[in-house]
Every structure is written in C-alpha cells, then in structure tokens.
Amino acid sequence: MKNFFIISSLLDNDFYKFTMQNAIIKLFPLVKAKYEFINRGKYFFPKNFSKILEENLNNMAYLKLSNDEKKYLEKYCPYLDKSYIDFLDKYQFNPKEVKIFQKGTSIKMNIEGLWYRTILWEVPLMAIISELYYKLTGTKPFSDKKIQILTKEKIKKYKKLKVKIGEYGTRRRYSFNVHKLVLNLLVEEAKPIFVGSSNIYLSKFFSIKPIGTQGHEWIMFHAAKYGFNLADQIAMENWLNIYNDKLGIALSDTYTSKIFFKNFNEKLSNIYLGIRHDSGDPISFIKETIKHYKKFKINPNKKKIIFSDNLNPYKVQYISKFCKNKIIPIFGIGTNFTNDVGLPSMKIVIKMTKIFLRKKWISVVKLSNSKEKSTGEKKMIFIAKKMLSLL
C-alpha cells in the first residue's frame, strides 16, 4: 500500500464545489467553516487507516492546475470568469486544514479553515476513504467485464425510457478506475441521453462538459447569516448575482421543500430553469412543483426537475413515467453507476457543521425531506424546526 495515492488531479472533484467556491470568493471571502466526517454505516476501519489516509492528503498538497486543465475550464466552463480561473491556477490544498484521529477501529476527522479553501476537501476525501476502505479490507468486486455488462444493461434501459441522465458518482465510487470505466461507457454508448458528469477531471479526459450547480452548504451558510426563514431565497438571489441565469437549478430540500416553495417566489420561479430533488417522496414533490409553477402561470413543461436521490433503473422508470407530459425530468445517478460492484456501498458523509460569523462559531443544520438525511446538532435542529414551524 506504500505510495498508493488516489487523487492525482486538483480537478478530480465535483463541479459544484468549484462553482460554490467561485461565489464564496466573490461574496464571502473572510468566512471560516468547520466540517466533520460522519460514519453513518458504523464501519470498522483497519489498523493504520488514518496513516495511509494522511499520506494521501499530504500528496494532495502537490496538486496544481495544469495548463491543459486551465484551457479546458476556459473552454468548457465559460461561467467561471478569468479572475477565478487565475485564482485556481495558484490554489493548492493545505493538509493542515484536516485533522484525522484513529482510536482502534474508529475514525474521526475534522476540517477547519477559510470556507473558500475548505470547500474543496469533501468530495476527494470521501472518494479516498471509500477506495482505501475497500482496498484495505480486501474486498473482491465484480470483474471489469461484469461491471461493463451491468453498465451497458442500465444504459440500454435508460435509452428505452428516453430519459436524460447524468453521472454524479465521485464521492462514493468504488475506485477511480471503476469510475473511469463506467464513464467511458456512458460517453461511448449513451450519447443521445447522457448530459454529462459532475467530475471535472474525468469530463476533461473525455472532452465533455461538467455538470452541477450548488450544494446544501451554500444554503446552510445563508441560514446562519440571514436566518432559517429567508435562507433559501437569499441563497438563490446571491447565486443569481454571480451567475445570472446560468447554472439555474435551485436546491429544494435544505430546510424541507415546504419552506423552499415559500421562498421560491414568482421572480425566482421564472428565472431558474428548474429544481433539484434530493430527498423525500419524488411523486409528491413532482405534484408540489407543478402546482407551484401553475400558481404563477408558469408552464411546468418548460421547467426541469433534476432527481439525485439514490437512483437506480427501477426508480428512474417510476419517476419518468409520472413526469411524462407534465415536467422535464433529468436524472443524476451516482453510486448506482460508480459503485455497483457486488458490494455494499459505504454510508459515509462529510458535512459542514459550523460557520464563524459575528466573532463566534455558529452551528449549521440541514433538515432535508427525509429525517435520516438531516445533519447538525440536535439542539440546533430543534431550534430550526421551531423557527420554521415544522414541529
């Protein structure tokens, strides 16, 4: 396992981390943040896991944007302006921002620093932990040939359904090699329906456009700064301040879709191209979304819903059938593409926990439409629900 380094490029990460980083640099450059690793699956980590993880982190300090990568961003990501790409050209990871502790088989990990810097750690760290865990515990996945067969079968099903699909699988992939293998098949065989990958490095490798917009932490920060009731609205308005009508997909479930729709006013509903569904019952959400658009006399058939909640061919078929002639569905498929290798996928997350504002650390929470996806301190979750009248 000596010198087994998983991340070999600054861009082996999800696109939405960079779009948020750009916005943070421009609007909130002095804000500090804390993140925490959450072992939802209660996994037992092998001896010396933290040591090999730290070696991987230390190696990431040497990653720099190459000239080819810079040219790729300029060509394929025009909404990232020159000043930001110049910033990224000088950016380097600082492993001192990450603290890892191992006691027996238990791992704890905390990230702390300026938000615009620490935001890039989450996805590559998750990918490293996942791949290292599988390798160090001696798991035996399906052969590459079987993974290819499974992926081709899924592509065939999605083509038959005539649905648009994207690949969102960086953070919980089995390995970089499996990720690359699957994406190669999507690029070669799913062209009519494939809209792109969230991974920038692999998108560059296959000369395709990366996809993604924003994550929950963008809205969680706004709740800490502006209050829970207005967080969704101000977060959406600030996004427009940076990107205008580009990257216009609104995230709907940071404080439940009920609160989101209260904030998604007529102006925002018209400007944003659509909404992302990431938790809760998809059919109820579709009905709620259509009702919301019709309230403002907006034609739902011209709006999109990006579905990204633990999808597989069965769920996609079920959802797309209900959406037909009602609203445009697009499916962001993650683990089912990059970690369908005959082993259980890891239930791990890294979440923002605190923001340094007004000279103190403020806890942040995500409520979600599914209780099991809520994160944050219990006391703060209770306060958020009380303030939002969700108790």
pLDDT category of residue 2 using cuts at 50, 70 and 90: low
User: Is CATH 3.40.47.10 correct for 144-338?
Assistant: no
Q: Which residues contact 326 (CB under 8 A, 6 or more apart)?
A: 286, 290, 300, 301
Centroid of chain to Cα 295: 30
Cα atoms in the Cβ-side hemisphere of radius 13 Å centred on 136: 21
Taking the model in full, what pTM does it have? 0.97
Q: In the CATH hierarchy, which top-level class contains the domain 15-140+346-372+383-387?
A: alpha beta
Contact (CB, 8 A) for 135 and 173 = no
Contact (CB, 8 A) for 215 and 19 = no
> Tens digit of pLDDT for each residue in 278-302?
999 999 999 999 999 999 999 999 9
> Tens digit of pLDDT for each residue in 5-29?
999 999 999 999 999 999 999 999 9
Using alpha carbons only, give the angle 64, 220, 82 rounded to the nearest 5 degrees: 35
Tokens representing 58? 């230390």
> Tens digit of pLDDT for each residue in 205-233?
999 999 999 999 999 999 999 999 999 99
In the chain, residues under CATH classification 3.20.140.10 are 15-140+346-372+383-387, 144-338
Q: How far apart are CA 304 and CA 302, in angstroms?
A: 7
Centroid of chain to Cα 308: 9
